[in-house]
Amino acid sequence: MSAAEASTLRLALVGNPNCGKTALFNQLTGSRQKVANYAGVTVERKEGRLHSSASGRSYAVLDLPGAYSLHAASLDEAVTRDVCRGFYPGEPAPDVLVCVVDATNLRLHLRFALEVRELGKPMILAVNMMDAALRRGIAIDLAALERELGVPVVETIAVKHGGARALVERIDAVAAQPHEPRTHLAEGADLHAETRRLLSLAVAMPTRTAKIDDALDRWLLHPVFGLLALIVVMFLIFQAVYAWATPMMDMIEAGTGWLGEQAGGLLPEGPLNSLLVDGIIGGLGGVVVFLPQILILFAFILALEESGYLPRAAFLLDRMMASAGLSGRSFIPLLSSFACAIPGIMATRSIQDPRDRLATILVAPLMTCSARLPVYALLIGAFVPDEKVGIFNQQGLVLFGLYAAGIASALLVSWVMKKWRRDKGEHALLLELPSYRIPHPRDLLIGLYERAMIFLKRVGGIILALTILLWFLLNFPAPPEGAMGPAIDYSFAGRIGHAMAVFFAPLGFNWQICIALIPGLAAREVAVASLATIYALSAADDDAAIQALTPVISDGWSLATALSLLVWFIYAPMCISTLATIKRETNSWKQMGFATFYLFALAYLASLVTYQVAKALGAG
């Protein structure tokens, strides 16, 4: 017995999606959580520690992915099945299974609990959301349920302080006694029949659904009012990600600028100073600057998911998205990608189907992100006259056209991917619309903290490393004594730019544009500042750079070149942060490589056609 006491016992929470399992996990473990992936797959693994003050024992608690059945239909469910059985490579088998069921949804959840019970492991049934059941007048005879099931049954309220106390007592009791594995039902027994028997013995349910759900769904799923409500929600999210984040991002940029100056003042001029200021501090700033957008977007997504609205939005949009080879759940990630593809790609975690998720990740960079706006503003300002066409401003029309081209391309690409896919199998929607709930602030905060850490830890490192590599290319070798041109011209990046010019000549790009594309890898908007540097103009910020550059390029470039560059930026796979995020979220260099290749190929072809057609029409 001493050996068993010395080693921490392992608990696993298992249950249907929407049973309140994660809220219960947060209640049990507080902030003592570790989030990672299961070995070899992109399924999220959450582990925490539970300390029982009553017994003094501590437990390792694993929050398994939600599953409808141990007959797995998805990667998530397969992980749950294998961990429960103790087959998952690298995962020790759990000592006690805590099967969580929603007290208001026992017809569905008890069937799965029966399936879990047949594994023959020590098990406790936690009947969760007893508060909601009480409000709806649902009476559950827990003693009868315990007697019939032959496993300990305990009620929990995951969202109430102390709502899991009884569960912890039962865990202590189960952990203290030896267990004999046994099955309860004959092989192949009808679990539905057994569920009905248990329900008739132990559960009295006045109505099958909650009145509030019926009332809300009548409006929120209405073909007209439902869509209107959805548009309002989407507008709010988009506005928040786009507008509310900007002041915070400006503050972060100003902060890193100040930090760079302070650090730069401490060191003598030279490569070390430049590495610290432009490479490391600039690179770190480039990572942190994404945080406001990520946090705001995820605050909305978590609240929508927890409240039960997100699956309703997917319900309303599924038909539209399915015709393009995506699913209803793809919509919010794609919408967020208009602000920035990085939070958008991270948001695809709410898409359960791996095929739909991958398709969404791959087209997300085609949504016109806010970083492309300075480039568009420069080119449109220089080449498109500020005149009216009917009631529309010509410049506005071109900008709208660029956004529309991005969306149309995304739909086309996902449609083509759907046609080309070898896996022609029907992919199910089978989406549960759970009861509406008021999200608990604790669960939202823990969720937000996890997202921020995932971004900083997993994506931040790659972005920082690539920024430093780029700094090296842009600054070495230094220009010779008495050199006339801008320093970038003599660097590795400058040489690469000159070499690239041959390849990009059919697109109408001159060598200055080619060089500017390289620092644009770090962030697309940097391309404008770099162009200013290359044309040896001094400019304090983007607006000043646009002003200074406008006369230079409207004289120096042909209209065909400008159009070609605009089209290039619709597709250009030139944001290493996005590529780093794709690598992390798909866990695959192959998918990242594919995304880079197809975006580059599309950009090249579209720009080539644009330039050649424009030249043929006399705009060259």
Query: What x/- string results for residues 152 through 191 when contact with another protein is judged by CB under 8 A?
Result: ----------------------------------------
Applying CB under 8 A, does 68 fall inside the site for another protein? yes
Is residue 490 within 8 Å of residue 439, measured between CB atoms? no
Query: What x/- string results for residues 200 through 239 when contact with another protein is judged by CB under 8 A?
Result: -----x--xx---xx--xx--x-xx-xx------------
Applying CB under 8 A, does 192 fall inside the site for another protein? yes
C-beta closer to another protein: residue 90 or 425 = 425
Is residue 99 within 8 Å of residue 113, measured between CB atoms? yes
Question: CB of residue 91 vs another protein: minimum separation in angstroms?
Answer: 24
Applying CB under 8 A, does 81 fall inside the site for another protein? no
Is residue 126 within 8 Å of residue 100, measured between CB atoms? yes
Partners of residue 59 on adjacent β-strands: 9, 50
3-state secondary structure 563-596: HHHHHHHHHCCCCHHHHHHHHHHHCCHHHHHHHH
Question: CB of residue 595 vs another protein: minimum separation in angstroms?
Answer: 28
C-beta closer to another protein: residue 193 or 391 = 193
Sorted by sequence, the CB contacts under 8 Å of residue 532 that are 6+ apart come out as: 538, 539, 545, 548, 549
C-beta closer to another protein: residue 45 or 111 = 111
Site for another protein in 122-141 (CB under 8 A): none
- Distance separating alpha carbons of residues 611 and 64, to the nearest angstrom: 54
Stretch that binds another protein, among 277-285, 369-377, 431-439, 580-588 (CB under 8 A): 431-439
> Of 104, 533, 578, 586, which one interacts with another protein (CB under 8 A)?
104
Sorted by sequence, the CB contacts under 8 Å of residue 438 that are 6+ apart come out as: 307
C-beta closer to another protein: residue 322 or 544 = 322
Q: Which residue's structure tokens are 């593809």?
A: 341
- Distance separating alpha carbons of residues 314 and 332, to the nearest angstrom: 9
86 φ/ψ sector (left φ>0, alpha ψ -120 to 50, else beta): left
C-beta closer to another protein: residue 93 or 429 = 429
Site for another protein in 274-313 (CB under 8 A): 311
Applying CB under 8 A, does 71 fall inside the site for another protein? yes
Stretch that binds another protein, among 100-108, 350-358, 503-511, 578-586 (CB under 8 A): 100-108
> Of 426, 480, 481, 540, which one interacts with another protein (CB under 8 A)?
426
C-beta closer to another protein: residue 223 or 480 = 223
Query: What x/- string results for residues 22 through 41 when contact with another protein is judged by CB under 8 A?
Result: --------------------
Q: Which residues of 349-385 are buried (b: 16+ CB within 10 A; e: fewer)?
A: bbbbbbbbbbbbbbbbbbbbbbbbbbbbbbbbbbbbe
> Of 81, 111, 372, 584, which one interacts with another protein (CB under 8 A)?
111
Question: CB of residue 278 vs another protein: minimum separation in angstroms?
Answer: 51
Phi, psi dihedrals of residue 62, rounded to the nearest 5°: -110, 130
Q: Can you point out the beta strands (E) in 466-556?
A: none
Cα 190 from chain centroid (whole Å): 39
Cα→Cα distances 115→108, 143, 194, 195, Å? 12, 20, 11, 11
Question: CB of residue 22 vs another protein: minimum separation in angstroms?
Answer: 19
- Distance separating alpha carbons of residues 477 and 480, to the nearest angstrom: 9
Applying CB under 8 A, does 423 fall inside the site for another protein? no
> Of 76, 278, 306, 318, which one interacts with another protein (CB under 8 A)?
318
Sign of CA dihedral 60, 62, 63, 67: negative
Tell me if the bond preceding 441 is cis, omega within 30° of 0.
Answer: no
Question: CB of residue 102 vs another protein: minimum separation in angstroms?
Answer: 9
Question: Could you list the residues that contact another protein (CB under 8 A)?
Answer: 68-69, 71, 73, 104-108, 111, 192, 205, 208-209, 213-214, 217-218, 221, 223-224, 226-227, 311, 314-316, 318-320, 322, 426, 428-433
